Structure 1
Amino acid sequence: MAETEETIDVQGARTHNLKDIDVQIPREKLVVITGLSGSGKSSLAFDTIYAEGQRRYIETFSAYARQFLGSLERPDVDKIDGLSPVIAIEQKTTSRSPRSTVGTITEVYDFLRLLFARASDAYSYHTGKKMVSYTDRQIRDLIVSDFEGKRITVLAPVIRSRKGHYRELFEQIAKQGFVKVRVDGEIRDLEKGMKVDRYKTHDIEIVVDRLQAASDAETAGRLDESIRTALYAGDGVMMVLEAESDQPRYFSRDLMCPETGISYPVPEPNTFSFNSPKGMCPECNGLGHVYEANRKKIIPDASQSIKGGGLAPLGTYKKSWAFKQLETIALRYGFDLGDPIEKIPDEALEVILHGGNERFEVDSKTLGVRRQYKIEYEGIAHFIVNQYRDSDSTSIKRWARDYMDKVSCPDCGGARLRKESLYFRVDGRNIAELAQMDIGQLAAFFRDLRERLKGDQLQIAGEIIKEINTRLGFLLDVGLEYLSLNRGSKTLSGGEAQRIRLATQIGSQLVGVLYILDEPSIGLHQRDNNRLINSLKALRDLGNSVIVVEHDKDMIEKADHVIDIGPMAGKHGGEIISEGPPETLRLHDTLTAAYLNGSREIPVPAKRRKGNGKEIVLSGCTGHNLKGVTAVFPLGKMIGVTGVSGSGKSTLVNETLYPIMNAHYFNGVKRPMPYEKIEGLEHADKVIDINQAPIGRTPRSNPATYTGVFSEIRALFAKTTEASIRGYKPGRFSFNVKGGRCETCQGGGLRVIEMNFLPDVYVECESCYGKRFNRETLEIRYKGKSIADVLEMTIDEAVTFFEHIPKIYRKLKTIQDVGLGYISLGQQSTTLSGGEAQRVKLATELSKRDTGNTFYILDEPTTGLHFEDIRVLMEVLNRLVDKGNTVLVIEHNLDVIKMVDHIIDVGYEGGRGGGEIVATGTPEAVSKDPKSHTARYLKRELFPDRQLASQTQEEQ
């Protein structure tokens, strides 16, 4: 037995489906935990080891501090020895805030802000010339050298290009002892009651002193005093005017344009933060976008009249203040509310949309006199924008957004920062330009920046540039060179978010820590896998322990130690069936070993489908990094969209193709990325998108409620003879509704006992014994089973039980077909693994009746799936295609790619180097393309027996 100091010794783990297992995990090694989806991998790694590490950390705080932090439940395990401080790097850890970006979560943007605050050059936004700042001594020396012997006037600017009569200002200046002012270029004596035309813009400066510039001591002293006074009165800015000139020279202690006199405050890191009032654009509050009213959404059909509901936000005619105002506008511009909107004069429509305020008179036909009317109308477009901006109601904001478009901010152009912040530059670039570069470009910019800087700039910036280069290097190492710093964190996939956190942790240089990762290879092309594995090894080589829950073949083969959990999933899993080095794992009789050693495999289809001969052609796509591509999607086939991470796959499919199809078939409102045209939509009749958004993760959510089958089951129970006699409706059999549920635990099945400073304890409800329902409800039985008994059934058991009820059977059979027969109908969503949750969602969509002409879109459906799970999933998808449907998968997994009928390979690289269609055709055809990164790895899967020496040389 190994020493506990060299291992993490877990004894008696029983969390979820773990069967009282003991396992020793070597420390300071790269350890992979693998097995079928639902076998218990996450239960061991996250719900046992990580949960215990977190609990121990919380317990180091005082009882007083713990009451604010909350408490963690002790995992169901006898003992864990040798546990280091634990950090979990999961897939759902990044912020969903629109203010969170790749730059902020990696801290690279923080270093950029520091760099610009300390080592940037400021430029005038008026003239583009470099800004200058002086000390008082430098100002005096410049005045003496440039104006020596000349008569000058020292001025303090107080008003710049503003309207007003300024009577109070002149009185205040006089009280301070000044006798002259310069107004609009003319020097005037201060007089009592002096004022200027309030409707014109004015420039006003105080005349501080008039003297002859000289270098003698007496003049220098007087000049020093005048400079101090002028800078104080002018708020840090002063002017010097030569007697024969009307063009003043500006001087300032702050950064200032010497020609126009505009000045910037001294920069600090917050000057470049879009999350700080000092740096954010005031128009969009640092978000980079604003919402503006869309005329087409307000008036969807101009052939309708206002009375008939032509103005969508107002609806059809009713007696209200808004329609009364519209009648007044109609009177003013000579039209009727029953006229089609397209016939209404343009100037009237402008008032209707954007408001107006005027009085007018109209002859009264009945009274024979002129009557006065008044238009005081805010305008529908203005009203919508103001409601969205000012309302505290979420529902009103949602209503307003239905008539608005999200557009780039007109003030900052999407840069998020105020104008002044964008005129500070390092090596000719402002901070927004650097944030827009992808990380590959940014790394190249900083790699030799030190050589391009000089003097004080280099001395100040040297250490900051070193830190930036180090962090960018880590991001490159985990294959994220295609991301930019201003990319919103909520747009990142789970795998990207996890690899960003991984890069951040490597950068922290911690030692002696246990890192636990959940499938970091998600969304990563085979080409980049080695870089990820090397990053994990670097983390290990620092002196840390790394545990990875993973199905990737390369990751398993390059690990130091592999733990295989099984033998099957759910109730039939939860045991350690193999552990040791990868070469030992191959020798065992397990599903994982069988796929690794080749005794089991997902076979390549004997022939590819020909399809139905029809196709959808999407032309001129330019969203994000797409370079005007035209993609052809042949129908009646399984289509695989492949390519390296960041090449443009999701932009092409999820952000361009799907929104177009969804709008066409279902009137979806999501705006697609820019494209020229699409042809062939009539050849399909609906589109279904099965994305990676998680299902509801509350304890009251379960597979039965999510898939909708529980509604059918409740309706079935309500139709039983006993339920009909008692008058029970379907709601009686819901654990979320008063009436049928147990009120002691409110349908939860558990009661929470608060233990003050100790963790809360969950105990089985003493009234219903965990059944969730009251006695009367449980007395209703269908084929001898109560509603609680049905929720405890596994999917496999329920399929047999309900086989004669088509509505219920069809939904349950689909869940069984995607390999989830082992989970129970009422299993809490919080206890489902990521792979299980994804397949519940997939089963929900697949259970809907297909027409044989449906277009399915799946984004990486193999997330969280073992080789065997992928085989089962592909059988389901193949059945869909065999019925005539089209299935499109965005995928990196070669076991899926080799089975599709048609590949669209996007590349060549990620980010700016991507956005082109590299190759299309059958997998065999694409594998021969020398330019495709996918082809190299696909060739190995399709032709494993060939010696591909030339390919190996090319990779090396």
Structure 2
Amino acid sequence: MSGEKLQSLKAKESIMIKGARENNLKNISLEIPKHKLVVITGPSGSGKSTLAMDTLQRECQRQYMESMGMVTDSLNKPKVDSIAGLAPSISVGQHVTNRNPRSTVGTVTDIYTYMRVIFAKLGERSCPSCGTKVKPPVQGEEGSEPLALQEDEEEGYYQQEYVSCPNCKHRLPALRMTHFSFNKPEGACSTCSGLGTVASLNMGLVFEGDKSIREGAVTLWGGMYKEYNLSILDAAAKHYGFTFDGDIPLNQFTEIQRDVLYYGVESDEFIKHFPDVQAPKAVGKGKFEGVVTGIWRRYQEKGGDQGSGEAELFHEQLCPDCQGAKLKKEIREITVLDASITEVSAWSLEQAYEWLKRLKGDLPERELGIVGPILEDLPSRVGRVIDVGLGYLSLDRQAITLSGGEAQRLRLASLLGSGLTGVLYILDEPTAGLHPRDTEGLIKVLMQLRDLGNTVLVIEHDVEVMRRADHVIDIGPGAGSFGGTVVGQGSLDELMEQEQSVTGAFLRSEQQRLGKWNRRKANGQLTIEGARLRNLKNIDVSLPLGCLVSVTGVSGSGKSTLLFELLAKGKDKVPSEGYDHLAGFEQIESLIMVTQAPLTRMQRSNVATYTDVFTALRNLYASLPEAREKKLTSKHFSFNTAGGRCENCQGLGIVTVHMHFLPEIEVRCPVCLGKRFKEEILRVTYQGKTISDILDQTIQESLELLKDQKKVAEQIKLLCEVGLGYLKWGQSVKTLSGGEGQRIKLAKELGKKTTKRTLYLLDEPTTGLHPIDVERLLVLLNKLVDAGHTVMVVEHNLEFIRASDWIVDIGPEGGTAGGTVLASGTPEDVSKVEASYTGRFLREELS
């Protein structure tokens, strides 16, 4: 057989990569079998994502666009000699892309759209005239009267129909899908416009009535800005012919003076005083916006973003009319099978699934004919979401509140429904935030995708997923420049026999580590009584101090509610409606909470600036003889301020190019070539390296260079200990995953070296960590506990859980079926509790 034929035959069976050298990849070549479940594993930062996302996924997109005749200049070819046998690819990452407060689990999965059809076709309501139950008639039956044809943006053209009450003949408008949408005026509660919450401005934070404006009556105005606004108000008063005095107390203002200050010259409140006077056209002539009007405008422009300065002036509460249900009262009273659409939306998906099955069984033939196709498709759609371990979610849960792992699995469930074949799916750690009990359901979904004829490539650290994979590729042996080679491949059993394999070595040594823990004794305790926030069922929990404590349970069982919403607030001794009593905080001097919330949304914040290492680096470079000679200060070595930075890219190293009809792309700055600084700054070197060179180094690589800088060297060692040595100093913190962000926060806190008895609360710190890195993290956290501190962690990682001193297991299920304490004690104690899922998995781990 000729070489060409052999090559094409191989391309049908596998994806062949030759000479991949993107980022830290060391010119690797490998074959990935097609139509299989393939796991890429290895230590954090070894090059897994570079291989899967930056090389494979990018080349798939580039080749696809090229085959469609589209210009691909914006998509750089990855550094690889060749890739043969590629298929169209779909990558499923962990970033929550939907930030719209109106998006819910129901709307992003389309399940709510189907529900709206069911309620529009079958909804039963009371006649407002006589109270008789009115059902929608079937088309062509007596009782429906078609009227004029009208247009509707959602349903094209429809016949506006009315339905007659069978008893008193009162006419009711026929139900349509739009009536059940909280994003349409027909259905949305008019008080909150379908948001479920209303925001009110706390006027007491904006105005102080007993002061004049010059004395600070408007709390947001200071210095020159106060005088500037007073001059506009004076001009407005002259324009309309009234006086405005900035020296009299606010509570002595006339109605006209107060309305112009609060609401501005273009508001209805002010116009009513001067209906015939034309408003001034320019600010200098008195065009004043109004303090309250301006605050509301900025708040709405930022979508009520908590990061905006205006957000803290507002108080958000449940809508008084719909109580968070988002729909009009008359819509909330329409029922199908004795439940309203708001009730079904508030149930867990598991409850909604049972209701749908009951509905299908109870419907008479006549009505089944109307919604039969929907009742065929909808239960399987909901079932797929339950299969990926998200049965505890409700349809009305805001999409913005989902974790990265939840958002990823939700997308997986919808991909399964598409029925595509011949596709390469690339997944980034789908087990993140998943209890071992739910991993089984996820593996089932991945296998279904594979069995449809797709190639499923998963970046994963979970040993159970590796065990069930058809093929495992192990990248390593270390992170950053110490990684980037294939150290093993084959089945998991085959990896254990390969000398070079990092994952194989870990699994071999795992056998020797069993049963080697000395559990610590408690040194005091925190007790919370009557915890009942969200789904917690009025529980009492005792948590030992001076220990490593894991709070466990399936996703949605109530772990985070207990630790981060109740316990964390106890330090401030804020009385809470969520519990009866909280005791033991007097034994804690400091509380440090490290969650997976994004570190910052600022593009300029990078690993070096966030960890404060950059300040030390700037001072170091400013102290060098060459810098002193040129009179350069630490300010010149900052890319955030004018002086030494490249002004073309404002010190970012990249510039944004407008693409006309396509999304903007970022390219390397043509002036500084991505180095961020002016030429004269780059002439100053420390041991042959410029400040730009250090920003391009990984944390681990820079240790040798900076080992004599004591404070910086300590911070570098801490970052390496939490498994982040592979990050580059200049990497934007916006690009970090939730787990990486959390560990960088942890390293920053640990660098402060407190002697106070501290309680550390952590949210799944093992997310994104290879088992080897989990061991390193455990060493670090145990050092903290040995120094007299307490570490409490929400965790699913069995390796971490079995190494804890104490476990509190919450469950048994997620959502309404969770919220009770199933087991509490050492891992050995919990492993004996039959009702605990965590206990069952621990039993296997400990045996």
TM-score by shorter chain over 0.5: yes
Compute the displacement of 1:675 (Å).
2.5
Structure 1 distance, partners of 2:599, 2:423, is 32
Which stretch shifts more, 28-37 or 929-938? 929-938
TM-score (norm 1): 0.73
Q: Look at both structures and tell me which one has the larger radius of gyration over its CA atoms.
A: 1
Compute the displacement of 1:542 (Å).
1.3
Residue 381 of structure 2 corresponds to residue 477 of structure 1: no
Aligned partner (choices 26, 39, 48) of residue 32 of structure 1: 39
Residue 190 of structure 2 corresponds to residue 279 of structure 1: no
Partner of 2:389: helix, strand, or coil? coil
Structure 1 distance, partners of 2:645, 2:735, is 22
Aligned partner (choices 405, 408, 411) of residue 315 of structure 2: 405
Aligned partner (choices 104, 109, 116) of residue 106 of structure 1: 109
Compute the displacement of 1:561 (Å).
0.8
Structure 1 distance, partners of 2:169, 2:785, is 70
Structure 2 distance, partners of 1:934, 1:482, is 17
Partner of 1:775: helix, strand, or coil? coil
- How many pairs does the alignment contain? 775
Code of the residue aligned with 1:271 in structure 2: it is H
Compute the displacement of 1:404 (Å).
3.4
Residue 28 of structure 2 corresponds to residue 21 of structure 1: yes
Matches within 5 A, 1:585-624: 585-589=495-499, 590-598=501-509, 606-613=517-524, 615-624=525-534
> Deviations 1:885-944 (Å, cap 9, x if unpaired)?
1111100101110111111111111111100111112222222222211111112222x2
Partner of 1:254: helix, strand, or coil? strand
Structure 1 distance, partners of 2:446, 2:171, is 49
Q: Identify if the C-alpha distance between structure 1 residues 834 and 288 changes in structure 2 by more than 3 Å, giving closer, same or farther.
A: closer
> Deviations 1:518-546 (Å, cap 9, x if unpaired)?
11111111112211111111111111111
Which stretch shifts more, 628-637 or 83-92? 628-637
Partner of 2:457: helix, strand, or coil? strand
For 1:894, the equivalent position in structure 2 comes to 798
For 2:12, the equivalent position in structure 1 comes to 5
For 1:688, the equivalent position in structure 2 comes to 592
Partner of 1:11: helix, strand, or coil? strand
Maintained 8 Å contact 2:121/2:136:
no
Code of the residue aligned with 1:265 in structure 2: it is P
Structure 2 distance, partners of 1:124, 1:584, is 71
Q: Identify if the C-alpha distance between structure 1 residues 770 and 406 changes in structure 2 by more than 3 Å, giving closer, same or farther.
A: closer
For 1:875, the equivalent position in structure 2 comes to 779
Code of the residue aligned with 1:549 in structure 2: it is I
Q: Identify if the C-alpha distance between structure 1 residues 390 and 426 changes in structure 2 by more than 3 Å, giving closer, same or farther.
A: farther
Structure 2 distance, partners of 1:647, 1:297, is 38
For 1:636, the equivalent position in structure 2 comes to 546
For 2:434, the equivalent position in structure 1 comes to 524
Structure 2 distance, partners of 1:7, 1:513, is 13
Partner of 2:360: helix, strand, or coil? helix
Maintained 8 Å contact 1:132/1:256:
no
Structure 2 distance, partners of 1:928, 1:297, is 55
For 1:433, the equivalent position in structure 2 comes to 343
Matches within 5 A, 1:686-725: 686-695=590-599, 701-725=605-629
Partner of 2:61: helix, strand, or coil? helix
Structure 2 distance, partners of 1:690, 1:537, is 35
For 1:906, the equivalent position in structure 2 comes to 810
Structure 2 distance, partners of 1:833, 1:551, is 15
Maintained 8 Å contact 1:291/1:385:
no
Matches within 5 A, 1:478-627: 478-589=388-499, 590-598=501-509, 606-613=517-524, 615-627=525-537
Structure 1 distance, partners of 2:599, 2:317, is 30
Q: Identify if the C-alpha distance between structure 1 residues 805 and 10 changes in structure 2 by more than 3 Å, giving closer, same or farther.
A: closer
Q: Identify if the C-alpha distance between structure 1 residues 438 and 132 changes in structure 2 by more than 3 Å, giving closer, same or farther.
A: closer
Structure 1 distance, partners of 2:395, 2:839, is 30
Maintained 8 Å contact 2:350/2:391:
yes
Work out the percentage of aligned pairs sharing the same amino acid.
43
Q: Identify if the C-alpha distance between structure 1 residues 312 and 940 changes in structure 2 by more than 3 Å, giving closer, same or farther.
A: farther
Code of the residue aligned with 2:182 in structure 1: it is F
Compute the displacement of 1:101 (Å).
1.0
> Deviations 1:346-366 (Å, cap 9, x if unpaired)?
xxxxxxxxxx99xxxxxxxxx
Which stretch shifts more, 16-25 or 320-329? 320-329
Aligned partner (choices 328, 333, 346) of residue 252 of structure 2: 328
Q: Identify if the C-alpha distance between structure 1 residues 684 and 123 changes in structure 2 by more than 3 Å, giving closer, same or farther.
A: same
Residue 63 of structure 2 corresponds to residue 56 of structure 1: yes
Code of the residue aligned with 2:562 in structure 1: it is L
Q: Identify if the C-alpha distance between structure 1 residues 762 and 908 changes in structure 2 by more than 3 Å, giving closer, same or farther.
A: closer
Code of the residue aligned with 1:865 in structure 2: it is L
For 1:818, the equivalent position in structure 2 comes to 722
Maintained 8 Å contact 2:739/2:764:
no
Matches within 5 A, 1:144-543: 254-255=162-163, 264-292=172-200, 324=248, 326-328=250-252, 387-388=295-296, 394=302, 398=308, 401-543=311-453
Q: Identify if the C-alpha distance between structure 1 residues 672 and 100 changes in structure 2 by more than 3 Å, giving closer, same or farther.
A: farther
Structure 1 distance, partners of 2:534, 2:836, is 21
Matches within 5 A, 1:844-863: 844-863=748-767
Residue 95 of structure 2 corresponds to residue 92 of structure 1: yes
Q: What 5-or-longer segments of structure 1 have no aligned partner?
A: 143-226, 233-251, 331-355, 358-381, 945-956
Structure 1 distance, partners of 2:767, 2:14, is 30
Q: What 5-or-longer segments of structure 2 have no aligned partner?
A: 1-5, 149-159, 231-244, 255-268, 271-289
For 2:679, the equivalent position in structure 1 comes to 775
Maintained 8 Å contact 2:654/2:667:
yes
Maintained 8 Å contact 1:701/1:829:
yes
Q: Identify if the C-alpha distance between structure 1 residues 307 and 772 changes in structure 2 by more than 3 Å, giving closer, same or farther.
A: closer
Q: Identify if the C-alpha distance between structure 1 residues 601 and 474 changes in structure 2 by more than 3 Å, giving closer, same or farther.
A: farther
Maintained 8 Å contact 1:642/1:903:
yes
> Deviations 1:818-839 (Å, cap 9, x if unpaired)?
2333444334557767755553
TM-score (norm 2): 0.82
Structure 2 distance, partners of 1:126, 1:296, is 46
Compute the displacement of 1:813 (Å).
2.5
